[in-house]
Homo-oligomer: A and B are copies of this chain.
């Protein structure tokens, strides 16, 4: 079963467009972890508890490799333990944002898809089509291209006005990336990363790519607008979005009740997304 099919089933089963980002920061782990655990071992225990408390509420998990790599080899063991805790029917998006020349990209695709076993990954498009090919070839896996990211610096390059033809108005670079993504999507396994912090751009991208799935970070700690993201980002069928929230769920409580608190926040977010989605769909002409 391909990634997008697995995702669709999880969306339906859990009635959820919520993805929980597994970005563990050892400095923010709850005090309520079993006594004596620290560092990478505590991270693994923490993540397992979060997953057990939320796996019926999400459509996917998204571990960001940076946070595990920052802990060195024990961090990678923690990632192994984390992935082992995810139920088989919940897809996992490896947020790696890799991008390299062809034969190196092939090594990254092997590391991420075969080594870690991610159902999907995020990739950086700056190196162009041949750098993405080793990922795109894996048609059972999802490939999310960074398009319009959630951070303030996204403007620096992604908004640059690009000339696309004689007499045509210039278009921002991220729109051109979206057009390229459609061309590269010959196997139907391409998605885009679009920050919830820029709902207008999200709407523009939905016009360009009416049928593509967008992975949308930036809700929660980064201040993205959930209602506007759904209004502008949902596709014609009322789907096509994966709303990622990380810190707001992970660090819902610093006490012993951290897992229950994470569940409460995830449940509230899941239901808020459902409610807003229904309001958006019922308001459509």
Contact = CB atoms under 8 A, between A and B. Distances in A.
Nearest to A112: B69
Contacts of A105: 66
A149 to B, nearest CB: 5
A177 B180 CA distance: 20
A97 interface: yes
B66 A107 contact: yes
B151 A70 contact: no
B67 A107 contact: yes
Given A23-B104, A67-B104, A163-B163, A115 B72 contact: yes
A169 to B, nearest CB: 10
A158 to B, nearest CB: 7
Interface string A93-134: 000011111101101101100010000000011111111100
B126 A125 contact: yes
Which of A76, A110, A153, A160 has the largest count of B CB atoms less than 10 A from its CB?
A: A153
Contacts of A268: none
Given A176-B160, A177-B157, A100 B131 contact: no
A155 interface: yes
A36 interface: no
Contacts of A127: 146, 149, 151, 153-154, 157-158
Contacts of A130: 151-153
A64 interface: yes
Contacts of A52: none
A129 B153 contact: yes
A73 interface: yes
A150 interface: yes
B146 A108 contact: no
B69 A111 contact: yes
B101 A128 contact: no
Contacts of A152: 128, 130
Contacts of A111: 66, 69-70, 72
Nearest to A126: B126
A237 to B, nearest CB: 29
Interface string A164-188: 0000001001001100100000000
A156 B173 contact: no
Contact of A70 (B107, B153, B170): B107
A73 B115 CA distance: 9
A146 B153 CA distance: 16
A208 interface: no
A111 to B, nearest CB: 4
A162 B77 CA distance: 44
